[in-house]
């Protein structure tokens, strides 16, 4: 049976700060954490580390013409967050939410003109920096939590915990029947050479969580507001349908 498990996350806090200078992804400083696991040492390694670096190839061979890296961005507001943000009003999605990703692949014309820099910002960015070899598409969603920010403090401190926050987010997304989850499981990484193949593996390829404001720091590592650890449940079944 086909299942989708183990969300893989990449967070865009730093990226948004460079491309959208008026937007503050989170408070305080933005930090990163070194990845200690080494890359594949295979001489034929041509893929990215956590995602394919290009979508025109599948394990070194030409990929299907419809191949893209299809992702989900989730914008999250804590229930009690009424802090003023001009680009992301309290109680609604950010103004720019639907101006980040193209929903369909475009292969016509010059690569630098395939996606709009104003309405398909991330798709345009990756298409240009890859010189036409990386097509990033996807959707964006907005959700609000059921509880206040501080309610998700660690369980040892009497809170619900970060796992509960993630499971709540997953559950709200699972109830969104407009999301066709199989569209977001298109790539798998080879276990021996690390190269990516355009073939589903039962895992969501990529999801980004962007918190409007996390004053209680329940989602961030100490001293690094831009780093949000995955943690959470080891598995979460979101779509039991067969491929």
pLDDT at residue 206 tops 70 = yes
pLDDT band of residue 28 (cuts 50, 70, 90) is very low
Arithmetic mean of pLDDT, 23-47: 50
Distances (CA, A) of 56 to 46, 47, 60, 62, 70: 12, 11, 9, 6, 14
CA-closest candidate to residue 143, choices 167, 163, 162, 161: 167
The pLDDT of residue 45 is: 58
Beta-strand runs (E) in 23-135: 57-58, 61-62, 69-77
pLDDT at residue 232 tops 70 = no
The angle subtended at Cα 17 by Cα 11 and Cα 19, nearest 5°, is 100
- Quote the pTM value: 0.81
DSSP 178-231: T--GGGG---EE-TTT--EESS--SB-S-EEEEES--TT-SSSBTTBTT-----
The pLDDT of residue 11 is: 41
The pLDDT of residue 236 is: 79
pLDDT single digits (tens) 138-196: 999 999 999 999 999 999 999 999 899 999 999 999 999 999 999 999 999 877 777 89
The pLDDT of residue 24 is: 45
pLDDT at residue 46 tops 80 = no
pLDDT band of residue 14 (cuts 50, 70, 90) is very low
pLDDT single digits (tens) 47-85: 677 789 899 999 889 999 999 999 999 999 999 999 999
Cβ atoms of residues 126 and 136 within 8 Å: yes
Region of poorest pLDDT, from 97-101, 130-134, 152-156: 152-156
The pLDDT of residue 114 is: 98
Cβ atoms of residues 212 and 81 within 8 Å: yes
Region of poorest pLDDT, from 63-67, 118-122, 225-229: 225-229
The Cα 135–Cα 62 span in angstroms is 14
Cβ atoms of residues 63 and 188 within 8 Å: no
The pLDDT of residue 9 is: 45
The pLDDT of residue 221 is: 52
Instruction: Render the burial of 37-74: b for 16+ CB within 10 Å, e for the rest.
Output: eeebeeeeebbbeebbbbbbbbbeeebeeebbbbbbbb
- Residue 198, C-beta contacts closer than 8 angstroms, at least 6 positions apart: 55, 58, 63, 64, 67, 186, 187
């Amino acid at each position: 049976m086909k299942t989708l498990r183990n969300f893989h996350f990449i967070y865009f806090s730093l990226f948004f700060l460079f491309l959208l200078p008026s937007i503050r992804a989170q408070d305080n400083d933005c930090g990163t954490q070194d990845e200690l696991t080494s890359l594949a040492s295979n001489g034929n390694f041509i893929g990215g580390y956590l995602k394919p670096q290009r979508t025109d190839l599948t394990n070194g061979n030409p990929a299907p013409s419809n191949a893209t890296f299809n992702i989900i961005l989730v914008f999250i507001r804590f229930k009690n967050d009424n802090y003023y943000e001009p680009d992301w009003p309290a109680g609604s999605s950010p103004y720019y939410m639907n101006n980040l990703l193209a929903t369909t692949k475009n292969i016509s014309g010059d690569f630098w003109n395939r996606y709009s820099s104003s309405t398909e910002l991330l798709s345009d960015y990756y298409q240009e920096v890859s010189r036409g070899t990386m097509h990033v598409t996807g959707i964006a969603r907005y959700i609000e939590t059921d509880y206040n920010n501080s309610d998700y403090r660690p369980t040892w401190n009497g809170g619900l915990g970060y796992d509960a926050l993630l499971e709540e987010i997953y559950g709200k997304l699972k109830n969104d029947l407009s999301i066709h989850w199989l569209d977001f499981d298109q790539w798998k990484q080879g276990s021996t050479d690390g190269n990516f193949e355009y073939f589903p593996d039962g895992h969501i390829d990529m999801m980004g969580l962007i918190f409007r404001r996390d004053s209680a720091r329940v989602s961030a590592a100490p001293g690094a507001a831009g780093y949000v650890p995955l943690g959470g449940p080891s598995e979460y079944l979101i779509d039991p349908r067969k491929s």
